[in-house]
A and B are shown apart, each in its own frame.
Chain A
Amino acid sequence: MPTSQTIEVKQPIPPVPSSTPPLLRLEGVRCGYREAGEWREILRGVDLEVQAGEQLALVGLSGSGKSTLLHLLGGLDVPSAGRISFDGFDLAGLGEPARTLWRRQHVGFIYQFFNLIPTLSVLENVLLPLELNGIDEKAGREAGMGLLDQVELAERAGAYPDKLSGGEQQRVAMVRALIHQPALVLADEPTGNLDFATGEKVLDLLDSLVRAQGRTLIMVTHSPEVARRADRLIRLVDGRLEAV
């Protein structure tokens, strides 16, 4: 079980924890921003439980706080109040360095824009999370090429991101989010920038990869079609979550 002590251990990547108790539990999570001297609360007491292996779609109006919530789940930010526990321990209790180490091991991120590092080739982008987890390029190469093959991009492994189409870039981003076998995959409108058909294809691949590996996925989306693929649909309204 990962605790703040074992986070330091870089290898091997731990197996997905078995369910019950929940992988993620949010209790009364609050978050806001100070703007022009005024405190604006965006999340006003979010409660949520997510089982390992679950696929969640998160919807809500623009500006409702979906991205904010995702950042909290990924440890990029901390709530102003409430608890976020991952596999039983409190994320907010970790300092910034420990959260970073936790994130690099257990979280995969996919977002709408600027997903890939422009100065790294496709394969290098994919292998970066492994390298950060202490697995060198050579050792990770096979896994990387295998996953790239699954998204039909193996022959583009040496190309730089600016030579790829939007859909191709998002597929690479997917592979990069999954390569280190994180327990939790967070996706913020991963198809928001793509046309419908391309988006469908990307999502099919994401679906199959995540389900095949038994990962937990939380995906923000505006599209009802996309939302329908999920096991569970939750909506952010007035800073609180409601099931749909």
Chain B
Amino acid sequence: MAILARANRRHFLRHPLQLLLAIIGVALGVAMVVSIDLAAESTHRAFSLSMEALTGRYTHHITGGPSGLPESLFTRLRVEEGLRETAPAIEGYVTVKDGSTLRLAGFDPFSERNLRSRFVKAARGDDAVRLLTEPDTVMLSAVTAQRLGIHPNDLLAITVNGQAHQLKVVAYVEGDEAPDPALEGLVLADIATAQEFLGRIGVLDRIDLILGNNPDQDRQIRSQLPPGIELESVAGRNSATQNMTAAFELNLRAMSLLALLVGTFLIYNTMAFSVLQRRELLATLRIIGATRGQLLREILIEAALLGLFGGVLGLAFGVLAAKGLLHMVTRTINDLYFVLTVTEFMPDPLILLRGLALGVAAAVIAALGPALEAAWASPLASKARSGLENRARRGVPWLAVGGILSMLIAFVLLQTESAGLVPAIAGVFLLLLGYGLLTPLMLLGFAWSTVVLARLSNAWLLRLAVRGVAASVSRAGLAIAALTIAVAVSVGVGTMIESFRGTIAEWLDQILQADIYIAAPSTAARYSPPLPNGLPEQLGRIDGVDKTGTGRRIIISTSLGESELLALDPPYLNQPGFRFKQADGKVVWSTFPTMKAVFVSEPYAQRHHLKVGDNFELVTDSGPITLPVAGIFFDYRSDQGLIVMHRSLYDRLWKDGANTSVGLYLKAGADLEKIRQAVGLILSSQQQPLVVRSNREIRAASLETFERTFAITQVLRLLAVGVAFVGILSALMAFQYERRRELAVLRATGLTPAQAGWLVLVQTGFMGLTAGLLSIPLGLAVAVALVRVINLRSFGWTMDLAVSLPPLFAAIALAVFAALLAGLYPAYQVMRVEPSAALREE
């Protein structure tokens, strides 16, 4: 069908701007989806590769409580239980001079050499012997060595728990083999060396085992383990760790999907516009004998090509963007979840292919409506013309009914608490869609009242302009709906972030009751090194310090999986240290020191479906114990949640004298700076460097982490608005194109070019204002959905909705401004065009 295809394809070459807009639309949509996919995939792969490298062929771990495992257990298992395929492991985090965090892993070359499970190259030969015989020696991953500019026999300066050390790098972990990206960030030492540097002599973190798939054997081993020590499968542990980021990723994906939807809208616009422009051409083709099927196919092929071009461009953008995004995503994961270094970025062909297919599919689906319109239009031009708008106008009430239905479904999805996160996200999409469907009706109502007002005030240009908008409700409605949705999403997300920030600030004020906090610098999320013994007592004796409170944070095993436990010893009971969900927070708090129960944070309760009074099992040093939940408190430090118990209960259950942090409560009128100096003096005599921060400083640092976490969201939000803007530009161009004959008639009857230009600007300004006003209720609804449902179901965080007026006004201004900006080019065209030329064209 060469000539037929050419007749249609060349149309696009004659309208390059339009073509470009459509391609950009697809490209941006595809780019966002692909970049988020790639970034997520890269972090997943980095995670599983490094896990694989660290666990090798091992199938199970034996892990202990906060104090780890006694080394003797390893010997006992090997000798007495005859478990030959075992190896000891200890791990910690160290920082190096460029600020990055490395994983220091202690291993036993003998065990590994025999098992040939992991670090095969490192466990063999003379280098392994040097690790054992020379002090302070390590092996470094070749990739990391390259990054840090370190060669064998160089010294590596590290900081562990705030203390500086020099280590001698004797070889690469890979030996003389090719650098393995999966080993990025790995420092390998002999067990004894690692224990020494991590300050945990005689202790192991894990014993790794290779076990067959034999539940009886598992049970047998479990029964031999002392209380508080657990056997778990490697796969289960890894997937639990990785699952931590699931909700975070899902939210990112939802954002990218939104961008693709906006891109689809852009293609719809372009295709609808191009069909409109080609109406005569298509009619002629039909008269000559082209069938409906042929025209349908032509237009769908066009769309597919558009999708393909845009898609390929989008892949290129996407890969570029993914590199930036990867950095942001990894940083967030490191801030919030676990330590992960991602250096290898390899675009997965499957993701690229999927992105491309998504682009093409979106383009074809978007073009389906216009294509059907083109094929089914009567070749008799006189019939086609007014029919479209009439049909559109008759469709407006039906669209509204559909919109209301869609919003009702959205409401149900968002209200049903048992529904998960995915239905909730679908609910938000349905809410946006439903409101969009309702927009044309609201536009007509708004236009009608404006016309009435304009008639009263005799503003004929305004009346003419608004009538024109109402007359082509199919185009105008679409453009306004798109702008409304884009601005509303921006308002909604903005309000959500605002609310979140406010909630966090308030929460920080509540929990940071002490004036000064002392803790060891943490090298990784979810890992808190212990303080030196006796430090709290020493600090409590400083003049001006009224009381001290201590905290101990550890990771424990429970019947609900691995959990973070915080043991607190608050000096005051008159003011609750948390805001409890239930009303009698003060009463609950007053029983804290004596209660044989725990508090859990809201995300923890949400995640594990716990209510006050529910019981669950904790693995303690003295064996498993079942404890009830005495209260649920609001907490935002981790979306994994937190268990809190009183220090006295903790001490009864665990043999762990250590503390993680100390809070100093000053006497009224005490001089903060003086006391800080005194604290500094005491700390300087300690082996281990510690960090002293006032509650203000912690608050500021926490808020900074918060802003960092939402950096991605902000970027995606901007991008979505950008894509929407391109969509509006093309919709407005279609709108004005359709009105060009009417404008030519007006010009011929005496409208000056300037007036014609104004007419266009008044029209687009009116459309922008309509969109701006309509976006406010929707934006607030989206904010409520995000705050009350999406965030709650994603992370388990309840927040207070904070709505402030200035951003709402800014949103209206943004909509008007975007519309006016998009109207400039059409206005210019209208002013330039000869009315006779437009009239002659039939």
Q: In residues 95-143 of chain A, which contact B (Cβ within 8 Å)?
A: 96-97, 100-101, 103-105, 107, 109, 113-120, 124, 127-129, 131-133, 136-137
Query: B10: CB under 8 A from chain A?
Result: yes
Among the stretches A19-27, A71-79, A227-235, the one at the interface with B is: A71-79
Query: B3: CB under 8 A from chain A?
Result: yes
Query: B243: CB under 8 A from chain A?
Result: no
Contact of B3 among A113, A115, A131 (CB under 8 A): A131
Taking the closest CB of chain B, its distance from the CB of A182, in whole angstroms, is 10
- The answer to whether A129 touches B287 (Cβ under 8 A) is no
| Residue from A105, A116, A131 with most neighbouring chain B CB atoms (10 Å) | A131
Among the stretches B289-297, B414-422, B758-766, the one at the interface with A is: B289-297
Number of chain A interface residues as a range: 20 to 34
Q: In residues 285-323 of chain B, which contact A (Cβ within 8 Å)?
A: 285-293
Query: A176: CB under 8 A from chain B?
Result: yes
Taking the closest CB of chain A, its distance from the CB of B19, in whole angstroms, is 14
Q: Chain A: which residue is nearest B8 at the CB level?
A: A119
Taking the closest CB of chain A, its distance from the CB of B664, in whole angstroms, is 81
Query: What sequence of 0s and 1s flags, for each residue 218-240 of chain A, a beta carbon within 8 Å of any chain B beta carbon?
Result: 00000000000000000000000
Contact of B289 among A96, A100, A127 (CB under 8 A): A100
Given A74-B287, A100-B289, A119-B14: A128 in contact with B380 (beta carbons within 8 A): no
Q: In residues 481-524 of chain B, which contact A (Cβ within 8 Å)?
A: none
Given A120-B7, A137-B3: A109 in contact with B288 (beta carbons within 8 A): yes
Complex contacts, A129 vs chain B, CB 8 Å: 288-289
- The answer to whether A119 touches B7 (Cβ under 8 A) is yes
Report the separation of the CA atoms of residues A7 and B690 in the bound assembly, to the nearest whole angstrom: 92
Complex contacts, B2 vs chain A, CB 8 Å: 131, 136-137
- The answer to whether B284 touches A71 (Cβ under 8 A) is no
Complex contacts, B285 vs chain A, CB 8 Å: 117, 128
Query: B1: CB under 8 A from chain A?
Result: yes
Complex contacts, A74 vs chain B, CB 8 Å: 287
Report the separation of the CA atoms of residues A128 and B8 in the bound assembly, to the nearest whole angstrom: 13
- The answer to whether A120 touches B6 (Cβ under 8 A) is yes
Taking the closest CB of chain B, its distance from the CB of A147, in whole angstroms, is 16
- The answer to whether B291 touches A119 (Cβ under 8 A) is no
- The answer to whether B842 touches A105 (Cβ under 8 A) is no
Complex contacts, B284 vs chain A, CB 8 Å: 114-117
Query: B379: CB under 8 A from chain A?
Result: yes
| Residue from A71, A96, A117, A128 with most neighbouring chain B CB atoms (10 Å) | A117
8 closest residue pairs by CB, A with B: A104-B289, A119-B10, A100-B291, A131-B3, A132-B289, A117-B7, A114-B280, A128-B3
Could you list which residues of chain A lie within 8 angstroms of chain B, going by C-beta atoms?
Answer: 71, 74, 76-77, 96-97, 100-101, 103-105, 107, 109, 113-120, 124, 127-129, 131-133, 136-137, 176
* Known interface pairs A114-B280, A117-B7, A119-B11; 20 further A-B residue pairs with C-beta atoms within 8 A, sorted by A's residue number: A74-B287, A76-B287, A76-B378, A96-B292, A100-B286, A100-B292, A103-B287, A109-B288, A116-B284, A117-B281, A120-B6, A124-B3, A124-B6, A128-B3, A128-B288, A129-B289, A132-B288, A132-B289, A133-B289, A137-B2
Between A and B, 14 residue pairs with Cβ closer than 8 Å are A76-B379, A97-B292, A100-B291, A101-B289, A104-B289, A105-B289, A113-B842, A114-B842, A117-B7, A117-B284, A119-B6, A120-B6, A120-B10, A132-B289
Could you list which residues of chain B lie within 8 angstroms of chain A, going by C-beta atoms?
Answer: 1-4, 6-8, 10-11, 14, 280-281, 284-293, 378-380, 842
